Structure 1
């Protein structure tokens, strides 16, 4: 059986489609439908994942890792008990936990999964997620963009063409996808958002406000105390959640510190929804700008949007929903499925489609980042621009820059914002020596429906051609095979 896994910044969920073709969230060993994406190192040979790990963040923050999804695909490392771990290795413990409780729940070994990722993740970030699953013994049969998964979770009521905007505002990322849906075809028109805007940023604002309040009222700086700081983060997150349903909440943390002047220090502040919204107004304005950017990219007016789908915990925030209602007053708002679960539901449906148990839909996606090559001056030359719908093919003509040149090196890159990510390269050799500017080399990029990129270089004058295939926009086939010794070391650590 293939399950769907929503690997989130804050929480991770697993879902599947049962024999009656109903989508079910798989509960963990504690009976919870969500598992916090938190890893705590109990000792050198045991890690705890989930709710118990999250509680340890208060007293042992140096051994507790939160929000690892935000650093996937980066050079960040964690050193604990004199062992160094990459983000993929830390995330692998989360996937192992999911694999374990899903297998126990289903009564069969889970070996394959559809895993969701932000649409705005670049190639390195996607590779890192696939590697994490691979280190956990899971085969990723498909990486599915989170907003697309959210759209799949809702069954279309009719076959008429609709313009759908998915706003996936989670713990660590804000993911926006605009798509056209008709008769089982989902055509993505534009994607956008930020991998550095999410619920954690709202927690950060509240935490700073509490720290400033304590400095003003008690003349004490709690930011230097890691245990106190983690307590404040935890209570700030809860206050944010509470204010989605109440107009006012109290943040009470007794005996958080000891002051020479005041003795025992307690946090006891009242926070209104209005103040919270004022404190986080800049974050909401940033979210609004990102939504506008996606509409502009697709050349679509707000009144053309028929349906808005809410996903992610921050989408519950009344101020965010009011903002969206002002931007899209005539659109239907869909939030009936739990926003925390909607991505996992869509992933499970895609898994069942791949198994042939649900009717397949056709997905046409767009490139979130431009693809191209480096020219002789080291400048990026786009071959397929960001926002292009695939399958597609594009060709540009290049020449050589030196006399007596018999080869060129084709370096394939992806442009993520202003950063260039190398996807691969190959050497195109000729059977003869070119004079400077003599060669006419056609470089073609072809992307299939599943994101497989083939790069072809052809000497137009001689007809000689060579190509290289990069399997999947998400580079699933390029994920390196883990070192067996490292695998043995990781699996020597028990996941609780």
Structure 2
């Protein structure tokens, strides 16, 4: 097979791209400053004369007003946009993501010496369908052919070759702790000779990641520890006060220093109380030295209750599955940059037992490219695999409902399988007339029902416009809802006739976020 499949891990902190042709993987080298080509920072810089840089080259730019990091987080916001001075233009998050994808597209084609490829892009479990659609639109507008978008932990699953080697049943937990989210997936794998069934039983997410840890280290440790020095630097700063992200330049620099200290501490075998130091250059050219210990970071984790929050999410994963308990788990795999922190891996060891997950045996080398790699293998297994017969079932990681009397009414439960169809539900003609036969669809990641439609936990997905002229009843019609695997929501509308026959009147389809 000569078809090139490309997995794009559009991470909050880093970008990773892997190509796969059914036989061999190839890491896409994204820029010349990359020693191994495994990842680059998800940072974009808009220079003068239409020059655009991403990755390390962008991160090294000192002009913070025209540099944007963590665009993935901005895609979560309803109306985020910023003015970029060097290009004299305002851009929203989708525009900026599209610019990043454009440069990725060029690098992929250059590396592979091809003009066309199929791509699979990954996203967090707790990304809404609207956010998912924004990523997809950004990639498509950059000229990338997007075949599928899947969740990050489910993609990582397919990078683990050992899971598909031996016959029998395995219960697997994927723990993916990245830059912006913690995502978990509970999967059953059944292999019988050439037949492999992959069933995602549940998925959950926590909106907290490495960038939150970095910000917390600065605010809760470094600033309190060096308050007088930092206040002096801030007061004397000649830097522009506000960046394109709406933050002070010095704040961004201090958070980046916190990130660097954190990564060095957990990448080095030092005692918990040994201080790791780093120099800081302020805008006046003065050097300062700041120190941080592993124990100080751990104390912050304890104070923030991160262990309890992670255990709560792990418990929720199993509560959402009727099939298995944590005692049934046979394999646990940890991915994502924040899994480099042994404090979090130790939580997994305590929760599942060291015979299931041994924190000390964890290999950090495989975590960075696993999601992009797994994305390519997922698509290959689903669409192109010839040696094995793969049957793959994903779950819906959110609830789906409609607006009734300004309230969110849930119809599809979280962690139902894609393709699940509801029973018949009533819609009253009186209410449809009030809204000119417009039906509003919403989703929520929390198990809520009957709350106000303006509740921040409720996310608008789109509208369905029924064809009023097709309906003869003056009382009630029936409908069913079905979420298809290609992010299309199908709604079927019926009338019940006098002889009690239920007759299909029309099908409507909602392209989520479109």
Residue among 129, 140, 143 paired with 2:146: 140
- Cα 1:89–1:284 change in 2 (3 A) is farther
1:244 matches 2:266: yes
| 1:442 aligned partner | 478
Distance 1:399 1:457 in 2: 9
- Cα 1:446–1:255 change in 2 (3 A) is closer
Distance 1:217 1:40 in 2: 30
| 2:451 aligned partner | none
| 1:494 aligned partner | none
Residue among 365, 370, 391 paired with 2:419: 391
Contact 1:367 1:390 in 2 (8 A): yes
1:214 matches 2:226: yes
Distance 2:38 2:297 in 1: 28
| 1:316 aligned partner | 340
| 1:492 aligned partner | none
1:50-69 CA-to-partner distances (Å, cap 9, x unmatched) read: 1010111xx21111100000
Distance 2:259 2:470 in 1: 65
| 1:412 aligned partner | 441
- Cα 1:139–1:197 change in 2 (3 A) is same
Contact 1:150 1:309 in 2 (8 A): no
| 1:457 aligned partner | 493
- Cα 1:401–1:35 change in 2 (3 A) is same
Q: Deviation at 1:429?
A: 2.6
Q: Deviation at 1:125?
A: 0.5
Distance 2:479 2:217 in 1: 51
Residue among 265, 290, 309 paired with 1:269: 290
1:17 matches 2:56: no
Residue among 194, 197, 202 paired with 2:208: 197
Distance 1:397 1:29 in 2: 54
Structure 2 length normalisation: TM-score?
0.83
Q: For 1:99-110, what aligned pairs fall within 5 Å after superposition? A: 99-110=105-116
- Cα 1:267–1:323 change in 2 (3 A) is farther
| 1:95 aligned partner | 101
Q: For 1:372-387, what aligned pairs fall within 5 Å after superposition? A: 372-375=401-404, 377-387=405-415
- Give the RMSD, CA atoms, in angstroms: 2.7
1:33-77 CA-to-partner distances (Å, cap 9, x unmatched) read: 212110011125121111010111xx2111110000012153100
Runs (4 or more) in structure 1 with deviation over 6 Å come to 403-407
- Cα 1:257–1:211 change in 2 (3 A) is farther
- Cα 1:397–1:354 change in 2 (3 A) is closer
Contact 1:4 1:351 in 2 (8 A): no
1:91-133 CA-to-partner distances (Å, cap 9, x unmatched) read: 1122122211111111112443111111221111101100110
SS of corresponding position for 1:393? coil
1:426-458 CA-to-partner distances (Å, cap 9, x unmatched) read: 2143567645xx33x221112345454310010
SS of corresponding position for 2:60? helix
SS of corresponding position for 1:470? strand
Contact 2:397 2:414 in 1 (8 A): yes
Distance 1:273 1:167 in 2: 22
Q: Deviation at 1:380?
A: 2.2
1:376-408 CA-to-partner distances (Å, cap 9, x unmatched) read: x12222221112123221123315364996984
| 2:243 aligned partner | none
Q: Which moved more, 1:296-305 or 1:337-346?
A: 296-305
Distance 1:206 1:91 in 2: 28
Contact 1:3 1:110 in 2 (8 A): no
Q: Deviation at 1:268?
A: 2.0
| 1:256 aligned partner | 282
1:327-355 CA-to-partner distances (Å, cap 9, x unmatched) read: 11042468546111110110121343466
SS of corresponding position for 1:161? strand
| 1:26 aligned partner | 28
Contact 1:13 1:341 in 2 (8 A): yes
1:441-490 CA-to-partner distances (Å, cap 9, x unmatched) read: 2211123454543100101127351111235xxx4xx64xxxxxxxxxxx
Contact 1:409 1:428 in 2 (8 A): no
| 2:73 aligned partner | 70
Distance 2:383 2:415 in 1: 30
Q: Deviation at 1:10?
A: 0.7
1:160 matches 2:168: yes
Structure 1 length normalisation: TM-score?
0.85
Structure 1: 5+ residue stretches without partners: 259-263, 480-496
SS of corresponding position for 1:388? coil
Distance 2:280 2:372 in 1: 37
Count residues in correspondence: 461
Q: Deviation at 1:233?
A: 2.0
Q: Deviation at 1:255?
A: 4.1
| 2:397 aligned partner | 368
Structure 2: 5+ residue stretches without partners: 240-247, 447-456
Q: Which moved more, 1:343-352 or 1:171-180?
A: 343-352
Distance 1:35 1:219 in 2: 32
Contact 1:251 1:267 in 2 (8 A): no
Distance 2:204 2:281 in 1: 44
Distance 2:319 2:378 in 1: 29
| 1:41 aligned partner | 46
Q: Deviation at 1:294?
A: 1.6
- Cα 1:271–1:161 change in 2 (3 A) is same
SS of corresponding position for 2:158? helix
